[in-house]
């Protein structure tokens, strides 16, 4: 199954068929404006600027399911991203990435790229893993999205290549992105 079989509403409420991105390398990210990882928007934009001319697109999907860190309206999200980080990559309406109302795209992504744990060799990965172990160990089980800024790399055929958890800095994805371009 390909991500091109899905559609979603963009930040302005217009239905977008993801086959619009056929032949592109995609990075699909669930985002939030009030998260400790929110500064990743800056590096996501750097990646987009660096590789968009080579067929790379980032798709941002705001989500309020993790600590209610995306409380505003879609317009609030759009304005925040543009003013604070100069985001020019496509943003979509707020969605659920887990649970009964999970967007079908994210059901596909988590099925195609299961959760493999946090990289505890990094300070942020170690911190997030410790937080989960202490406060919500049950959420470490299964393949659901664990937190904001989980990233899925998609090849030009629309197939999920790899999942990167929240603490992974976007610029650290370049070695995985470049061979796909």
For residues 32 and 156, give the distance between their C-alpha atoms in angstroms, rounded to a whole number: 26
In the residue annotation, 63 being an active-site residue is answered as: no
Report the SS3 class of residue 162: strand
CA distance 133 to 166: 16
H-helix or E-strand containing 132? helix 123-135
CA distance 149 to 35: 9
Choosing from 3, 27, 35, 59, the catalytic residue is 35
3-class DSSP assignment, residue 13: coil
Question: How many angstroms separate the CA atoms of 174 and 53, rounded?
Answer: 15
3-state secondary structure of 7: strand
Q: Which residues are marked as active site?
A: 35
């Amino acid at each position: 199954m390909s991500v091109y079989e899905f559609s979603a509403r963009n930040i302005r409420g217009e239905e977008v068929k993801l086959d619009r991105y056929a032949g592109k390398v995609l990075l699909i990210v669930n985002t939030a404006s009030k998260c400790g990882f929110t500064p990743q928007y800056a590096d996501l934009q750097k990646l987009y600027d660096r590789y968009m001319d080579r067929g790379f697109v980032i798709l941002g999907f705001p989500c309020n399911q993790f600590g209610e860190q995306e409380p505003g309206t879609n317009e609030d999200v759009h304005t925040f991203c543009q003013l604070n980080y100069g985001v020019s990559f496509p943003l979509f309406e707020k969605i659920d990435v887990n649970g009964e109302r999970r967007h079908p795209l994210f059901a596909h992504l988590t099925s195609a790229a299961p959760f493999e744990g946090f990289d505890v060799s990094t300070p942020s990965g170690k911190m997030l893993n410790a937080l989960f172990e202490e406060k919500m160990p049950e959420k470490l089980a299964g393949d659901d999205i664990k937190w904001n800024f989980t990233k899925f790399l998609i090849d030009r055929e629309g197939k999920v290549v790899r999942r990167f958890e929240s603490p992974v800095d976007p610029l650290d994805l370049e070695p995985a992105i470049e061979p796909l371009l």
